[in-house]
């Protein structure tokens, strides 16, 4: 595979049939799977790498977030990315922001309850990338399920002519969902983090949302993990169903967030009813 073109100026971005894969770098196989999916949908694939300050709250890991641009570009050369767009903070935020995006009520629950400013920052940077790159398609991962739902709402509500593609979660052999933040985990914490996916998979075997939440929560607590939340939502609309005591005849997603040591991780599994 050829080396992708590394650019920092949006004026140099390709035009026409473009698929965008937005990332914050520190790329792993999960990100690379998004690029492979993007190749199926457009002639040119642009991968953005930008650690976006507006989606981090004070005290979160913005300064510590891994930045590995040279290694990222090398990885992207193996999966067919055409362009790496790695703008500076000054390029993306040339002055104090006056106009922002309200991500709506979906941003106030689950991840939004724990990180109240997070999704406003996500929408701000994704909207900027959409306006600069002008893709026909954008690919996001299922691991950030709530983000995906909010981006889809933003695209619909603001009439972006962009198709949003969801790519499945990529896991290690032991089931741990790939995440750039996994690099923060020590050996013992990694062993404990595996219980997130094991609890989800076991909970997903139950028939009702209430049972799915109860079993997942119990397994986590037995493993010494106190989750921030365990919830079931409709996969399409992200409506919370966690207290439903009867089987739901539509696809649902079972989600979890928890701290393993000092590292906050999220994971989910979709339970298909069709």
Q: Residues annotated as binding site for ATP?
A: 24-31, 141-144, 170, 178-181
Give binding residues as ranges.
24-31, 55, 141-144, 147, 170, 178-181
Question: How does strand 252-260 pair with strand 229-234?
Answer: antiparallel
Give binding residues for beta-alanine as ranges.
55
User: CB count, 10 Å around CB of 251?
Assistant: 13
Give binding residues for (R)-pantoate as ranges.
55, 147
Question: How does strand 137-141 pair with strand 163-167?
Answer: parallel
**Catalytic residue annotation:** 31
- 16 vs 20: CA distance, rounded Å: 12
Token pair recorded at residue 49: 């790498």
- Of all helices (H) and strands (E), which one includes residue 6? strand 5-7
Token pair recorded at residue 92: 């993306």
> By CB neighbour count within 10 A (0-12 exposed, 13-18 middle, 19+ buried), where does 83 fall?
buried
């Amino acid at each position: 595979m050829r080396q992708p073109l590394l650019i920092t100026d949006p004026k140099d971005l390709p035009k026409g049939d473009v698929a965008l894969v937005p990332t914050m770098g520190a790329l792993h196989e999960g990100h690379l799977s998004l690029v492979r999916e993007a190749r199926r949908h457009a002639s040119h694939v642009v991968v953005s790498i930008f650690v976006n300050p507006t989606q981090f709250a004070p005290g979160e890991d913005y300064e510590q977030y891994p930045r590995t641009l040279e290694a990222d570009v090398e990885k992207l050369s193996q999966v067919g990315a055409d362009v790496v767009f790695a703008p500076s903070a000054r390029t993306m935020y040339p002055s104090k922001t006056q106009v922002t995006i309200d991500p709506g009520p979906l941003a106030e629950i689950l991840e939004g309850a724990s990180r109240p400013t997070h999704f406003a920052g996500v929408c701000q940077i994704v909207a900027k990338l959409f306006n600069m790159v002008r893709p026909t398609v954008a690919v996001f991962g299922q691991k950030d399920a709530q983000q995906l739902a909010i981006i889809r709402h933003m695209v619909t509500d603001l009439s972006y002519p962009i198709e949003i593609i969801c790519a499945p979660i990529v896991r290690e052999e032991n089931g741990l969902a790939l995440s750039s933040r996994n690099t923060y985990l020590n050996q013992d914490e990694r062993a404990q983090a595996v219980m997130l996916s094991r609890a989800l998979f076991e909970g997903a075997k139950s028939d009702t949302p209430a049972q799915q939440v109860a079993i997942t929560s119990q397994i986590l607590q037995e493993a010494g993990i106190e989750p921030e939340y365990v919830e079931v939502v409709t996969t399409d609309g992200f409506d919370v169903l966690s207290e439903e005591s009867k089987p739901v005849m539509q696809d649902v997603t079972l989600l979890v967030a928890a701290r393993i040591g000092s590292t906050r991780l999220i994971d989910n599994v979709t339970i298909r009813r069709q």
